[in-house]
Amino acid sequence: MRYLPKSPFDRSTMLDAIGVASIDDLFTTIPAEYRLTGDMKIPRQMGEQEIVEFFRAAADRNANGYASFLGAGAYRHYRPVVIDAMVQRGEFLTSYTPYQAEITQGTLQAIFEFQTMICELTGMEIANASMYDGSTGAAESVMMAARVTGRSHIVVANTVHPEYREVLKTYAQHQGLPKQIVGYGADGRVDQTALEDAITDQTACVLIQSPNFFGVIEDIAAIAEMAHAKGALLIVSIAEALSLGIVRPPVEADIVSLEAQSFGVPVGYGGPYCGVLACKEKFIRQMPGRLTGATTDKQGRRGFVLTLSTREQHIRREKATSNICTNQALVALMTCIYLTIYGKAGMKELAEQNLAKAHYAAQVLGATPGSELLFAKSPRFHEFVLSTQEAPDAMNTRLLEHKIIGGLSLVKWYPELRNASLWCATEQNSREQIDTAAAVVAGKEAATLAYA
């Protein structure tokens, strides 16, 4: 086996040194009746070339060469090559949690930079070293809010990503956290009247998403006021982190749960991604996950360490703030590099391009016969909901014939929005793709289409 650095001679020398006759003598603590005597029934050992060919064949059976308008929590953005060049350095790739600060300053400093950038982008005072993803991050935020307030009721907008809400339900079910769902108004934003009614002096927190699942930006300031009036915390979940390049940060929130996948992380069939929690500093002791802090060594030189670990499971066991152990360090590093590449000017410029692409796509698709752009007057970033004459599945089948993956059907989650689909346009979508999609949605003949 090519990964194993031992010759048969090495093995026999080592067995001799240990003083046993065969390797099986080291496994005698396993009762004989449970020891495997034959090979496991898994594929035989493959050579490297075979492995690459196997996965190439698998990759070829997926969508290749399609234009895509999917978003909905997994966003297609260009990934600068510098990211993979850096994260594939073995010193980052093959090290572990930086418990030994003296020989992990590279990881620690990068996390410190990451925490700083997340604070800047979200307008929060502190940020942790990352969570698994946006869905579990939102659930952890809710549990954190319950600890902070000592209250148990939670209020959730139904324009939070449906899968985030499902995860929250799983997490909250045994925590004794009754949940109330609040719907959306005609503008696609959370129904503020219903929200105000739902918040009581028992409410631990209000969880909203902005831009929400429909791509509509919520009025954070107004919602924060409602929550704070009753002593509840406001948690803002952000699934599309790039929106922070052009959308005012949710500074009125108490906790921001960010999914940073847009910052240079492949959509990769859904993971790994990079959740991160940011919040007001006064909540620090209740925050889950790892934190990196600056300090000095014995000679007074600047350095970084994992800190405040007394919140964590390896110290507090069943009294910990969360059971989380590993986070998404390497993915957080990707996002840190991405933010460094685009920087202050690039984040804004890129976000503006996304805004422009989506604005154009919404206009041309919304103008197709029988279609209607829903929540048209509300502020959006780069996603929009299109209601069509045709059922989304039928429309998408026709689009696939032109190598276009259309918007995500919302029929499963929001059947009340007749024939609605959620579209996303990013810097990866050319005008030609948008025009072609609009032509196909409009039912024009394939022969007249430029793209495909």
Partner 1 sequence: MATDTLNPAGVTSTETITIPFVGERRKVASHINQNEGLIFEKSSPGKKAYRLSPLDVPAVDAKSLLGDLAREDVGLLPEVSEIEIIRHFTRLSTWNYAIDLGMYPLGSCTMKYNPRVNELVARLQGIAEAHPYQPESLSQGAMRVMWLLQDCLKEITGMDAITLQPAAGAHGEFTGILLVRAYHESKGNPRKKVLIPDSAHGTNPATAAICGYQVQNLKSNSEGMVDLAELEKLVDEETAALMLTNPSTIGVFESEIHKIADILHAKGALLYMDGANMNALVGKTRPGDFGVDVMHMNLHKTFSTPHGGGGPGSGPVACKKILEPFLPTPVIVEKADGTLTFHYDHPQSVGRVRMFYGNYGMFVRALAYILANGPDGLRQTTEDAVLNANYIRKHLEDVYELPYKTATLHEVVFSDRRQARNGVKTGDIAKRLIDYGFHPYTVSFPMIVPGALMIEPTESESKEELDLFIDAMRQIAREADENPAIILSAPNATRVSRMDEVGAARKPVLRWKPAIAAAPASTENSALEPATAAKEY
We find the least distance from the C-beta atom of residue 72 to partner 1, in angstroms, to be: 6
If the CB atoms of residues 400 and 449 are measured against partner 1, the closer one turns out to be: 400
SS3 144: helix
Instruction: Kindly give the pairing relationship between strand 383-387 and strand 408-409.
Output: unpaired
Backbone region of residue 420 per phi and psi (left: phi > 0; alpha: psi in -120 to 50; beta: other values) = beta
Q: Between 153 and 380, name the residue whose CB sits nearer to partner 1.
A: 380
Distance in Å, CB of 143 to partner 1, minimum: 8
Give yes or no for a contact between 263 and 241, defined as CB atoms under 8 angstroms apart: yes
CB 360 to partner 1: min, Å: 4
- How far apart are alpha carbons 8 and 64 in whole angstroms? 45
Query: Is the separation of the CB atoms in 291 and 128 below 8 Å?
Result: yes
Q: Which is nearer to partner 1, 70 or 154 (CB)?
A: 70
Cα–Cα distance, 337 to 148 (Å, whole number): 33
CB of 418 to partner 1, least distance (A): 20
- Of the two residues 118 and 195, which places its CB atom closer to partner 1 in the complex? 118
| Min CB(389)–partner 1 separation in Å | 21
Q: Which residue, 18 or 229, is less far from partner 1 as judged by CB? A: 18
CB of 229 to partner 1, least distance (A): 20
Whose CA is closest to 202, among 176, 184, 239? 176
Nearest approach, Cβ of 206 to partner 1 (angstroms)?
A: 19
* Pick from 251, 265, 284, 240: nearest CA to 127: 284
Kindly tell me which of 18 and 21 has the beta carbon lying closer to partner 1: 18
Would the CA dihedral through 353, 356, 362, 365 be positive or negative? negative
Asked if 391 contacts 41 with a C-beta cutoff of 8 angstroms, the reply is no
In terms of CB distance, is 17 or 447 closer to partner 1? 17
CB 421 within 8 A of CB 84: no
Q: In degrees rounded to 5, what are phi and psi of residue 311?
A: -80, -15
Give the DSSP letter of residue 376: T
